[in-house]
């Protein structure tokens, strides 16, 4: 299957490809993974079920799901020498930069290229990536906090392990809160795939040169880090905090976000595809209310976010441009209520997006797609003769 490249009149070249994984309708605000609505999956499935669905194409039966979870557990030990690489980073390094480096470094300890035509090898590579990525993602936080690194507990679930790996300290076992685990599971589902977004396109194009899965995922982590993409969830919290620290003057902020001179944008608003509500934002907004109520957290930033949304949605500038809250607008409020530090927000986005990246890489390689090579609209000089330096 070769992608059809379409050139947008606005020169926003959009390379396109054929895929069976995720369906998006930006006008109607529809999102489906392998034909299942995001609303049903977020409500009824768990993250590993959805990961299996995205990667292998069908919802797993009980045996397949149990096997998937067991097989991921086989690979959650990370080579101890990876700690030397981790310790090479200053504690102040942004976790996304560390995660991208550690993900690429996994290739050094798993050098054998994946034979995508061998079903078992491909399945093992999927489980290995799901297992190791979660552990090294939490290591980026533990390093930053100067805490000892934790190991995966094979008696606990995947999302439960995330909270343990992040917060368990030797003197005190982590006290699991089902409400937090359930909310995180739902958030990971909502972030799991989103067709050909910036980071997924990066994973596909890097993988199309037959670079390995870890190298391709590492590139996706770097692309996601940008504040216009996954980094927005951190930028939204910093924006809400700034509004709060400046007396909560939301109207002033909306005015600023429209100022063409100021590159500042209303973070968490707008989308390349959705010109209607991002269905994930609708679900996350409700989850924010539920989680904060359940945890008894009264976060003034949630009220500021709601007021900001209301003012922006009633503002002609935003209305005329079909700018609505996106997936990043409310997610950080929930992460903060769970005790996740703001610099880890985009790492959580990466953990959620990992199965989507894997699924898209697998589809691209299994379809034997050619090496990615987007074309351009050439706007430069026509042919001109060389000039000696003395004549310039
Ligand atoms: C994600 O692609 C995906 O699927 C991504 C994602 C995923 O799941 O992978 O959904 C995750 O990245 C969500 C987006 C997170 N980023 C942010 O929240 C950052 C703030 N948003 C903007 O930077 C912006 O909306 C983008 C980057 C998301 C989209 O940029 P575009 O495609 O350039 O936006 P556009 O063409 O729709 O803009 C139309 C107009 C422009 O103004 P004019 O030239 O018409 O005068 O709206 C303006 C833009 O300047 N505009 C904004 C704005 N977003 C667009 N103005 C103020 N604030 C904003 N947030």
Q: What is the pLDDT of residues 80-125, one digit of tens each?
A: 999 999 999 999 999 999 999 999 999 999 999 999 999 999 999 9
Arithmetic mean of pLDDT, 330-349: 96
Contact by Cβ (8 Å): 224, 230: yes
Arithmetic mean of pLDDT, 251-270: 84
Cβ of 266 closer than 6 Å to ligand 1, yes or no, is yes
Cβ of 323 closer than 6 Å to ligand 1, yes or no, is yes
Closest ligand 1 atom to residue 258 Cα is 57
Name the pLDDT band for 341 (thresholds 50, 70, 90): very high
Supply the pLDDT for residue 9. Answer: 46
Contact by Cβ (8 Å): 361, 269: no
Supply the pLDDT for residue 263. Answer: 63
On the question of pLDDT at 177 being above 90, the answer is: yes
Q: How far apart are CA 120 and CA 82, in angstroms?
A: 26
Closest ligand 1 atom to residue 230 Cα is 12
Residues known to be catalytic: 271, 328
Arithmetic mean of pLDDT, 370-376: 93
Tokens 């035509």 appear where? 117
Closest ligand 1 atom to residue 197 Cα is 2
Q: How far apart are CA 235 and CA 344, in angstroms?
A: 12
Arithmetic mean of pLDDT, 291-307: 95
Whole-structure pTM value: 0.94
Arithmetic mean of pLDDT, 290-319: 95
Helix/strand/coil (H/E/C) assignment for every residue in 15-49? CCCCCCCEEEECCCCEEEECCEEHHHHHHHCCHHH
Own/partner pairs, 258-267, CB within 8 angstroms, 24+ separation: 258/315, 258/317, 266/239, 266/308, 266/312, 266/318, 266/323, 267/227, 267/232, 267/235, 267/236, 267/238, 267/239, 267/328, 267/329
Best of 224, 265, 327, 345 for a ligand 1 pocket test (most atoms within 8 Å of beta carbon): 265
Query: From the centroid of its chain, how far is CA 166?
Result: 18
Neighbouring residues of 254: CB distance < 8 A, sequence distance ≥ 6: 266, 308, 311, 312, 315, 318
On the question of pLDDT at 153 being above 80, the answer is: yes
* CA 272 to centroid of ligand 1, rounded, Å: 6
Nearest CA to ligand 1 atom 23: 228
On the question of pLDDT at 24 being above 80, the answer is: yes
Query: From the centroid of its chain, how far is CA 185?
Result: 14
Closest CA to 356 of 86, 54, 104, 63: 54
Q: What's the alpha-carbon Rg for the chain, to the nearest Å?
A: 22
Cβ of 328 closer than 6 Å to ligand 1, yes or no, is yes
Neighbouring residues of 131: CB distance < 8 A, sequence distance ≥ 6: 72, 73, 74, 75, 76, 152
Name the pLDDT band for 10 (thresholds 50, 70, 90): very low
Supply the pLDDT for residue 3. Answer: 44
* CA 198 to centroid of ligand 1, rounded, Å: 12
Cβ of 229 closer than 6 Å to ligand 1, yes or no, is yes
Supply the pLDDT for residue 257. Answer: 87
Supply the pLDDT for residue 17. Answer: 86
- Taking residue 376's Cβ as centre, other Cβ atoms within 10 Å add up to 9
Record the tokens describing residue 281, joined without a space. 């934002």
Record the tokens describing residue 329, joined without a space. 């607008």
Cα–Cα separations (whole angstroms), residue 46 to 43, 69, 173, 192, 242: 9, 12, 24, 11, 35
Supply the pLDDT for residue 261. Answer: 75
Return mean pLDDT, the chain: 94
* CA 166 to centroid of ligand 1, rounded, Å: 31
Q: How far apart are CA 338 and CA 180, in angstroms?
A: 7
Q: Please, which residues bridge with residue 173 across strands?
A: none
Cα–Cα separations (whole angstroms), residue 12 to 26, 62, 278, 326, 377: 17, 44, 21, 20, 10
On the question of pLDDT at 244 being above 70, the answer is: yes
Supply the pLDDT for residue 265. Answer: 84
Q: How far apart are CA 131 and CA 143, in angstroms?
A: 19
Best of 236, 271, 332, 348 for a ligand 1 pocket test (most atoms within 8 Å of beta carbon): 271
* CA 119 to centroid of ligand 1, rounded, Å: 39
Cβ of 69 closer than 6 Å to ligand 1, yes or no, is no
State in Å, rounded, how far the first CA of the chain is from the last one.
49
Name the pLDDT band for 256 (thresholds 50, 70, 90): confident
Closest ligand 1 atom to residue 268 Cα is 18
Cβ of 228 closer than 6 Å to ligand 1, yes or no, is yes
Nearest CA to ligand 1 atom 47: 321
Supply the pLDDT for residue 5. Answer: 46
* CA 247 to centroid of ligand 1, rounded, Å: 26
Cβ of 327 closer than 6 Å to ligand 1, yes or no, is yes
Q: How far apart are CA 275 and CA 92, in angstroms?
A: 37
Q: How far apart are CA 146 and CA 93, in angstroms?
A: 12
* CA 224 to centroid of ligand 1, rounded, Å: 14
Q: Which of 206-220, 231-245, 251-265, 375-389 has the lowest average pLDDT? A: 251-265
Nearest CA to ligand 1 atom 13: 229
* CA 279 to centroid of ligand 1, rounded, Å: 16
On the question of pLDDT at 4 being above 50, the answer is: no
């Amino acid at each position: 299957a070769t992608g059809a490249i379409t050139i947008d009149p606005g020169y926003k070249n959009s390379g396109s490809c054929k895929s069976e994984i995720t369906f998006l309708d930006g006008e109607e605000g529809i999102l489906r993974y392998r034909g299942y609505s995001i609303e049903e999956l977020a409500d009824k499935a768990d993250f590993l079920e959805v990961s299996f669905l995205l990667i292998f194409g069908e919802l797993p039966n009980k045996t397949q799901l149990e096997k998937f979870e067991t097989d991921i557990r086989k690979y959650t030990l990370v080579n101890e020498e990876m700690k030397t690489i981790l310790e090479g980073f200053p504690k102040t390094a942004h976790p996304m930069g560390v995660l991208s480096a550690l993900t690429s470094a996994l290739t050094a300890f798993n050098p054998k290229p994946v034979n995508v035509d061998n079903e078992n090898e491909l399945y093992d590579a999927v489980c290995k990536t799901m297992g190791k990525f979660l552990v090294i993602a939490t290591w980026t936080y533990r390093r930053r906090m100067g805490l000892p690194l934790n190991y995966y507990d094979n008696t606990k679930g995947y999302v439960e392990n995330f909270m343990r790996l992040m917060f368990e300290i030797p003197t005190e076992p982590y006290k699991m809160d089902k409400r937090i685990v359930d909310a995180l599971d739902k958030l990971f589902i909502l972030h799991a795939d989103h067709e050909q977004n910036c980071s997924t396109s990066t994973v596909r194009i890097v993988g199309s040169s037959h670079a390995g899965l870890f190298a391709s995922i590492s590139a996706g982590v770097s692309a996601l880090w940008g504040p216009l993409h996954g980094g927005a969830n951190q930028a939204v919290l910093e924006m809400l905090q700034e509004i709060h620290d400046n007396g909560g003057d939301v109207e002033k902020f909306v005015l600023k976000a429209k100022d063409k001179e100021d590159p500042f944008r209303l973070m968490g608003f707008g989308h390349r595809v959705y010109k209607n509500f991002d269905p994930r934002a609708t679900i996350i907004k409700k989850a924010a209310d539920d989680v904060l109520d359940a945890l008894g957290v009264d976060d003034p930033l949630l009220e500021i976010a709601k007021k900001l949304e209301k003012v922006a949605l009633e503002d002609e500038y935003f209305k005329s441009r079909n700018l609505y809250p996106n997936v990043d607008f409310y997610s950080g409020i929930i992460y903060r209520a769970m005790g996740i530090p703001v610099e880890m927000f985009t790492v959580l986005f990466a953990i959620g997006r990992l199965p989507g990246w894997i699924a898209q890489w697998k589809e691209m390689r299994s379809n034997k797609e050619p090496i990615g090579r987007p074309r351009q609209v050439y706007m430069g000089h026509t042919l001109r003769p060389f000039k000696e330096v003395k004549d310039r």
